[in-house]
Amino acid sequence: MQKIDIEQIPGGASPPPVRVGEAIIEEAAIAVEMQYHPADSAGSAQLKAARALVVRELLRQRAATLGLAEGAGSEIDESDAVIAELLERELAVPDPSEEDCRRFHATHPERFSEPTRLRVRHVLLAAAPDDAPGRDGGYRLGETLIKALREIPERFDEFAQRHSACPSREQGGDLGWLVPGQTVAELDRALQHLPDGLYERPLASRYGWHVVSIDERIEGRELPFEQIADRVRHSLREQATRRALRHYLLALEAEIGVEGITLDDETAGSLMQ
């Protein structure tokens, strides 16, 4: 059976209907499902939504074959309990051994480490990315504030309250303890490489310019296996579950038949979420 990935259909052509066995996944159902699958484009969201509905229909049909849907009280694609019962019965996921866990921990220590934490204050001098005059003015103001703070560091609270466009101005610009991923990406990347203390020039972000001071730092450290053994075991079991689920879905796809779309490596992950 030829399977067509809807991503490859020319823009002017109507996509083929998505079919699972004898059941058709309606476009209206895909449109409703899209809200649960955020993506960088409508086409990507539509594709993710269609695949999610295909997966649930495959499971619905398999559950019906086994008689699990009888008396469920609702349609199988609306019943997480029935899907859970089906997967509990048919999905074999071995528990990782301690040797496997120790090896995984030794190979990926960064996944089980405490991140470096930074105590940060800032003054946000707001300017939109396309506001060239505003960004020029913000940068010059940032330089002026930094020069003044080198002479009198105690004025940071004052400058935050007077100039900052961030709500943290009410706390003197204090952002608290930050770990990677807690602030806007471009500022987050810069913070990881700054020395302690007041930084020598304003830092740019999509929101404008930031006068930044790193007041404290707690370096990250690797955690011993005994302290995070349960986390390691959970990670390995989750990986094994994803692999088993992917193989199971591909087997159902081959057995029942799917047209108009193909499943991919991410399909199992969307179901687990």
233 and 215 in a common domain: no
pLDDT digits (tens, 9 = 90+) for 33-72: 999 988 888 889 999 999 999 999 999 999 999 988 654 4
| CB neighbours of residue 162 within 10 Å | 11
Counting beta carbons within 10 angstroms of the beta carbon of residue 100, is it exposed (0 to 12), middle (13 to 18) or buried (19 or more)? middle
Per-residue pLDDT band at 96 (split at 50, 70, 90): very high
| pLDDT above 50 (res 7) | no
Q: How far apart are CA 231 and CA 36, in angstroms?
A: 28
233 and 201 in a common domain: no
Q: Is residue 82 included in any domain, yes or no?
A: yes
Instruction: Give the pair of three-digit tokens for residue 157.
Output: 């609270």
Q: Is residue 201 included in any domain, yes or no?
A: yes
151's CB contacts (< 8 A; 6+ apart) are none
pLDDT digits (tens, 9 = 90+) for 203-228: 999 999 999 999 999 998 888 999 99
Q: What is the pLDDT of residue 202?
A: 97
Q: What is the pTM of this model?
A: 0.57
| Helix or strand run (H / E) with residue 28 | helix 27-33
Per-residue pLDDT band at 11 (split at 50, 70, 90): very low
268 and 245 in a common domain: yes
Q: What is the pLDDT of residue 262?
A: 86
Per-residue pLDDT band at 154 (split at 50, 70, 90): very high
128's CB contacts (< 8 A; 6+ apart) are 134, 135, 208
Q: Is residue 107 included in any domain, yes or no?
A: no
Q: Is residue 10 included in any domain, yes or no?
A: yes
The last residue of a domain, from among 193, 219, 245: 219
Structural domain of 155: 116-219
82 and 13 in a common domain: yes
Q: What is the pLDDT of residue 241?
A: 92
Query: Would you say the C-alpha torsion 83, 84, 88, 92 has a positive or negative sign?
Result: positive
The last residue of a domain, from among 174, 196, 219: 219
Q: Is residue 108 included in any domain, yes or no?
A: no
234 and 213 in a common domain: no
Per-residue pLDDT band at 265 (split at 50, 70, 90): low
Per-residue pLDDT band at 232 (split at 50, 70, 90): very high
DSSP-derived 3-state class of residue 20: strand
238 and 154 in a common domain: no
Q: What is the pLDDT of residue 69?
A: 65
Across 181-215, b (16+ Cβ under 10 Å) vs e yields eebeeebeebbeebeeebbeebbbbebbbbbbbbe
236 and 214 in a common domain: no
Q: Is residue 39 included in any domain, yes or no?
A: yes
Per-residue pLDDT band at 113 (split at 50, 70, 90): confident
What's the domain count of the chain? 2
Q: Which residue has the tokens 């309250």?
A: 161
| pLDDT above 70 (res 9) | no
Instruction: Give the pair of three-digit tokens for residue 82.
Output: 């029935």
- Residue ranges of E strands in the chain: 18-20, 23-25, 113-114, 117-126, 174-178, 197-198, 203-205, 208-218, 221-222, 258-259
Q: Is residue 74 included in any domain, yes or no?
A: yes
80-85 CB contacts, 8 Å cutoff, 24+ apart: 83/56, 83/59
Q: What is the percent of the chain with per-residue pLDDT over 90, rounded to a whole number?
A: 68
Q: Is residue 105 included in any domain, yes or no?
A: no
The whole-chain average pLDDT of the chain stands at 87
81 and 134 in a common domain: no
Question: Strands 113-114 and 221-222, how do they pair?
Answer: antiparallel
Q: How far apart are CA 53 and CA 258, in angstroms?
A: 12
pLDDT digits (tens, 9 = 90+) for 164-197: 999 999 999 999 999 998 999 999 999 989 999 9
Higher pLDDT, residue 15 or 82: 82
125 and 50 in a common domain: no
121 and 93 in a common domain: no
Q: How far apart are CA 9 and CA 14, in angstroms?
A: 8
